[in-house]
Structure 1
Amino acid sequence: MATSFERRRADFADRLRQLREAAGLNGKELAQLVGWNAPKVSKVEKGRQTASNEDLEDWIRALKLPAATADELRAELASLHDQYVTWKQAVRAGHRARQEESVERESKASLIRAVDVGIVPGLLQTADYAEHVLHAHAALQGGGHDITDAVRARMRRQQVLYEAGKTIEILMTESALLHPVAPPDVMTGQIHRLIATIGVPNVRFGILPLRVQLPYMLMHGYWIVDDLAMIETVTGELTLPDPDEVATLGELTDMLWSAAAEGDHARTILHRAADELRTD
């Protein structure tokens, strides 16, 4: 099933196609006018590739669209770009700005529900662990010149854990500890940080243990912050404002909590993981 972003991109692409046809041009003719190859026109019109701002301006000029139509298209494309941002775009100027966005969003939120698969969720990371995570991210996506500042910003995010009036649920997989992104000493410190989280007021912390049957296949991690959901992929971050999609992820979160280890059970898992690090 297509996401709201995919549906909106398809609608936008279809409108571009209709405008081209209304101008009496075929795809090859438009490609020649804007200096593209014909396959690019096809990809944009079929929604397989999101147009860039420059692409749209080429389209507007080639079709000589009215100012009102052009402004509508620009606004819609800007909204699409806000909904899906590639990591290379997001961290081009560095990682700190992205972390500060989270500080602002989470400080205003009353509800935060995090489900992470491959790493310890950011709100519970130690500074040393966060540094290794961000360096790994920068090695693939770029923007590695301000990691120290980005780590500081990520640590500031954690102030929300101790603010009254917030509902915070943080769920992670045990496998995130068994595929470490940092050396054993850093992982040990991170595990002790997680142990200290158990019992913090306003924070519900759980672990999805190994070899426990889950109620649904967990394809990726995600965060729900009030009425928005965010999904991180290898290549970018998708923001879902659609209430039905947010509700579906909320329902999935409830299902996952039914399989989660909490309290003493979670503490046992964490102590075992720390012991295994000492014996490796």
Structure 2
Amino acid sequence: MSGNVHEAREALGARLRDIRKDAGLSGTQLSRLAGWHHTKVSKIEYGKQAPSDADIRAWCLHCKAVKDVPDLIATLRNVEASYIEWKRIAGIKRRQQQLHSTEVDTRLTRSFEPVVVPGLLQTHDYIKAVLAKVSQFYGHDEPLEDGIAARLQRQQVLYRGYHKFHFILAEQVLYTTVGSDDVMLGQLDRILNAMTLPNVVVGIIPISATYEVPTTNFVMFDRRVAHVETITAELTITQPRELVLYEQAFQALVTMAVVGEPARALIRKAIEARSV
């Protein structure tokens, strides 16, 4: 088991231990009430054994904390799945297909990017340059065209069905050179075109904006899941209490961003800087 998963199990166990202590029960007393072996409570609390959904329900029932069941079960299901090590992802193409499936099932997609253009808005040349760097960094040997085609296929969701999209980009995104100036000029024009779609909102956070909220890049799919990319893993957030914080963070970012003509003006400024 990876260190990240073990730490997540320990964190879940610590929450369950607090619930037990708040109920005034010893580990032995809880084991007896639930009909478990006397060592089970200790193993769960210290991350040595993963509880089942039934264990969570019984734990909360006997500790008079039934209201915590949905959040704890969401945490439990996320422990083994939330850390997807990049080296174990079976190809860029497959990952794009997995994302497409999630996007198709989502009515409102909200995305924040501090450095690069979101995948759904990327041009062919921008995608090629990004995937070339990613493949080099992680040692992937998959043909780039497979990943490019899969990402372009994902973008069809922008034009079909009932989907709505709200992208918030830091102004830095407009100036991070991916590929070359020519690639960036095409990409910036693509963002301007995407802003004309009736179901798409693109906000730009000016470089001089006041700091309001701690952030990293993330995507929210309705209110059911959020994806966060790190260097070594992709986090899949499903716990209701955490999703509330991501939604609060996104709303704070919205207040920092400009939209409409002010946003287009920032993009045109970036285009002019590369056209000199």
TM-score interval w.r.t. the shorter chain?
0.7 to 0.9
SS of the residue 2:143 aligns to: helix
Aligned pair count reads 223
The question of whether the paired residues in 1 share the 8 Å contact of 2:177 and 2:184 is answered with yes
Gaps of 5+ in 1: 16-20, 24-44, 57-68, 70-75
**1:89 matched residue in structure 2:** 88
2:115 aligned with 1:118: yes
Unaligned runs of 5+ in 2: 17-37, 50-54, 56-74
Quote the offset at 1:202 in angstroms: 1.1
- Distance in 2 (alpha carbons) for counterparts of 1:157 and 1:244: 29
Question: Is the 1:87–1:235 Cα contact (8 Å) retained in structure 2?
Answer: yes
Deviations 1:142-188 (A, max 9, x none): 22323211111111111111224222111111112222122110010
| Cα offsets for 1:195-234 (capped at 9, x unmatched) | 111131111111111111132133x100001210110011
Cα distance in 1 for partners of 2:138, 2:119 equals 18
The one of 211, 217, 222 aligned to 1:221 = 217
Alignment of 1:44-123 (within 5 A): 80-90=79-89, 93-123=90-120
| Cα pair 1:9 1:80 within 8 Å, conserved | no
1:201–1:14 Cα change, 3 Å = closer
Aligned to 1:199: 196
Secondary structure at 2:142 match in 1 = helix
Report if the CA contact (8 A) 1:115-1:253 is conserved: yes
Distance, in Å, in 2 between the alignment partners of 1:168 and 1:258 is: 17
Equivalent position SS for 1:145: coil
Q: Classify 1:197/1:251 alpha carbon distance in 2 versus 1 (closer, same or farther; 3 Å).
A: same
* CA distance in 2: counterparts of 1:98 and 1:5, whole angstroms: 25
Whole-Å separation in 2 of the counterparts to 1:132 and 1:105? 25
AA in 2 matched with 1:222:
F
2:116–2:173 contact (8 Å) kept in structure 1 = yes
In 2, distance between residues paired with 1:170 and 1:88?
A: 28
One of 105, 125, 141 as aligned partner of 1:144: 141
Quick one: which amino acid aligns to residue 149 of structure 2?
R
Superposed, 1:1-280 pairs within 5 Å as: 7-11=8-12, 80-90=79-89, 93-218=90-215, 220-226=216-222, 227-279=224-276
1:136 counterpart letter in structure 2:
K
Q: Percent identity?
A: 31
TM-score by length of 2: 0.73
Q: Is the 8 A contact 1:4 1:242 kept in 2?
A: no
Distance 1:147 1:110, change over 3 A: same
**Given the superposition, is the C-alpha separation of residues 7 and 94 from structure 1 closer, same or farther in structure 2, using an over 3 Å criterion?**
closer
Contact 1:228 1:240 in 2 (8 A): yes
CA distance in 1, matches of 2:238, 2:259: 30
Q: Which moved more, 1:174-183 or 1:192-201?
A: 174-183
Residues 171 and 207, structure 1, Cα contact 8 Å, conserved in 2: yes
What displacement does 1:275 show?
A: 0.9
Give the secondary structure class of the aligned counterpart of 2:257. Answer: coil
Q: State the 1:46 CA deviation.
A: 7.1
Q: CA deviation at 1:11?
A: 3.9
1:101 partner amino acid: Q
